[in-house]
Amino acid sequence: MKTFHDKVAVVTGAASGIGRAMAERFAAEDMKVVLADVEERALAETTKALAGRGAATLAVRTDVSRAADVEALARAAVERFGGVHVVCNNAGVAGDGISVWEQSLESWQWVLGVNLWGVVHGIRTFVPLMLEQGGEGHVINTASMAGHLSMPFLSVYNATKFAVVTISEGLHFELQMAGAPLKVSVLCPGFVRTNILDAERNRPPELADDAPRSEAAQAFRMAFRGFVDSGTPPAEVAERVLEAIRAERFWIFPHPEMLEAIRQRADGILAQENPTFVPPPGVELKL
């Protein structure tokens, strides 16, 4: 996709962070933007800000863990703008930073519901629609470097991101085999300056979990927050996304300096070595 004028983009998790930055970047290309998020106030504020800049927008309150919500999102987009050309399955939550054996079923349900089922619902709903409408289009699934590297105390989050990577690769192959004009990208950022660690504000009450964290888990989470707070501005990630759509590039790595860690992990796997973990600087973890 080389031109964006008057095309329609749907972005989930659009009220903040990477999602908002993508919505802003698409609007700057004169696209019509459908913003979806579970956080209604932030969604309204973001949509108002974009509309104030002259963008054609539509806000749809959406819980991506619910198939019916994503289907309603698609209907609203088509009813308002007549079609969809770019879909960003981006909504995500970090979950609890505790040992995997201490994770509650509620935490598994919440994180898998948003991070994994959100992508599943997005693909199942929008890809058939885009194929039927014909013409070019692009699907961007937000994974993470956590979809390539395993970190302690983030096993639930890691599981969802590894899954998003392989689902995206499978979708890429299948669209190629079908001779479809749709393209796919998987976004794998490192640390980005978002409020993902505060996603508990949107956690459904029925999936609440206040399990205590070990000292090691608390230290890791504090270090992780420091990396996030000093991370890359979301606007820079959004720019990489736009570049990938133009270039029809599958892999989007906004933090190429982290690719060496993927190589080291792959080398260890091929050598059949036991996994090793190097903790963040200044943090001592006792597993």
Q: So which residues are the catalytic ones?
A: 157
Whole-angstrom distance between the N-terminal and C-terminal Cα of the chain?
Answer: 47
Residue 153 near residue 99, CB atoms below 8 Å: yes
Residue 85 near residue 78, CB atoms below 8 Å: no
Q: How far apart, in Å, are the Cα atoms of 140 and each of 73, 91, 171, 187?
A: 17, 11, 11, 7
Task: Please return the burial class of 15, using the count of CB atoms within 10 Å of its CB with bins 0-12, 13-18 and 19+.
Answer: buried
Q: Looking at this protein, which amino acid is placed at residue 226?
A: G
Q: Determine the length of the chain.
A: 287
Q: Kindly report the number of other CB atoms within 10 A of residue 61's CB atom.
A: 16
DSSP summary character for residue 275: P
Closest CA to 182 of 141, 215, 237, 146: 141
Please state, in angstroms and rounded to a whole number, the distance separating the CA atoms of residues 220 and 283: 7
Residue 91 near residue 38, CB atoms below 8 Å: yes
Distance of alpha carbon 137 from the chain centroid: 18
